[in-house]
Amino acid sequence: MEARSSTIRLYLEETGDRLTVRLEDNGVGMDAETVRRAQDPFYTDGVKHPGRAVGLGIPFLRQLADATGGRFSLESAPGVGTTVELVVPREHLDLPPTGDLPTVLQQALCYAGDYEMVIQRRRDTAGYQVSRRELVEVLGDLETVGSQALLREYIAAQEESLDDTEAETWQR
């Protein structure tokens, strides 16, 4: 969003024995040198967060991939956009817990600005998709506490349906 993207796609997939997280945007992108430097925890461009001397998001993803025997990739081109992908074993001891995914997704979808964000979530054979533009059509906006609460409830219900599908599979 801060890279001036008009379209952002987030894929969260738990299939078989692996977790895949992929984020694609059509923002300003980065040249090869910036891609290389963005993976260094002591690098920041100083633009997004003036005065901050480090940028840890991408280095943490890379470290997680290394610690779990997974895979990390960062591809970008100026004027085209950026794709970040993390693939890790679902049951690895060093994989941190997911945390409060409905709240994280709600916050991402409610970030101010005019952009489309599509979240595709899959767990084995079940899944759902959320489109920011469709949510705005239904809720009117994503700026009020009421619409944000409804959005969080909706995402939580979608996540529960994934849990229910998984429980049904185990019972068979």
Phi, psi of 79 (to 5 degrees): 75, -5
The residue out of 68, 93, 118 marking a domain boundary is 93
Considering the domain architecture, whether residues 12 and 87 belong to the same structural domain is answered as yes
Question: How far is residue 122's CA from residue 133's CA, in Å, rounded to a whole number?
Answer: 20
Q: State whether residue 147 is helix, strand or coil.
A: helix
The residue out of 64, 93, 122 marking a domain boundary is 93
Q: Which residues are CB-contacts of 138 (< 8 A; sequence separation ≥ 6)?
A: none
- The pTM assigned to this predicted structure is 0.85
Structural domain that includes position 132: 97-172
The count of structural domains within the chain is: 2
pLDDT the model gives residue 53: 47
pLDDT the model gives residue 40: 82
Question: How far is residue 127's CA from residue 135's CA, in Å, rounded to a whole number?
Answer: 17
Going by the DSSP 8-state scheme, the letter that residue 125 receives in this structure is T
Cβ burial of 118 (10 Å; 0-12, 13-18, 19+) is: middle
Q: Give, for all 172 residues of the chain, the pLDDT tens digit.
A: 778 899 999 999 999 999 999 999 999 999 999 899 888 877 666 555 455 444 568 889 999 999 999 999 999 999 999 999 999 999 999 999 889 999 999 999 999 888 999 999 999 999 999 999 999 999 988 999 999 999 999 999 999 999 876 555 544 4
pLDDT the model gives residue 137: 94
